[in-house]
Amino acid sequence: MAIRVDAVLRRRLHSNTLKLEDLKWQREEATRDLKSLQEEQTYSEQNLLEVMDQERVVAARLSDRAKKPSRELIKDEVNRKLRNELGQIRRFAKELTNNIERIL
């Protein structure tokens, strides 16, 4: 009888040891994932700040062009490119904001 109990306890100990190792691995994996997400969040926030600066510059350039006297006011290729660039920057800023919200 004691031999059976001893065998059952050894099996249970071995099973628990395997479960403990699996839990440790899961914890390490979760820690790595968290660190990766934190790095991605930091990178996205830095990119968002840079994109916001670019957006302000392009918006200011468009505003300056629009404030010219009417005889100097022209809608040319530069104006179209600035508007396109502003649209692209705004879309990219929205993507970065969504990425940051997804991380949080």
pLDDT in tens, 18-71: 999 999 999 999 999 999 999 999 998 999 999 999 999 999 988 888 787 776
Domain span holding position 15: 2-103
pLDDT at residue 9, rounded to an integer: 93
Listed residue (56, 104, 44) closest to 82, CA to CA:
56
pLDDT at residue 19, rounded to an integer: 97
The average pLDDT across 72-93 equals: 86
The average pLDDT across 80-102 equals: 91
pTM (global) more than 0.85: no
pLDDT at residue 25, rounded to an integer: 97
Q: Count the domains in the chain.
A: 1
CA dihedral 5, 8, 14, 19 (to 10 degrees): -120
pLDDT at residue 18, rounded to an integer: 96
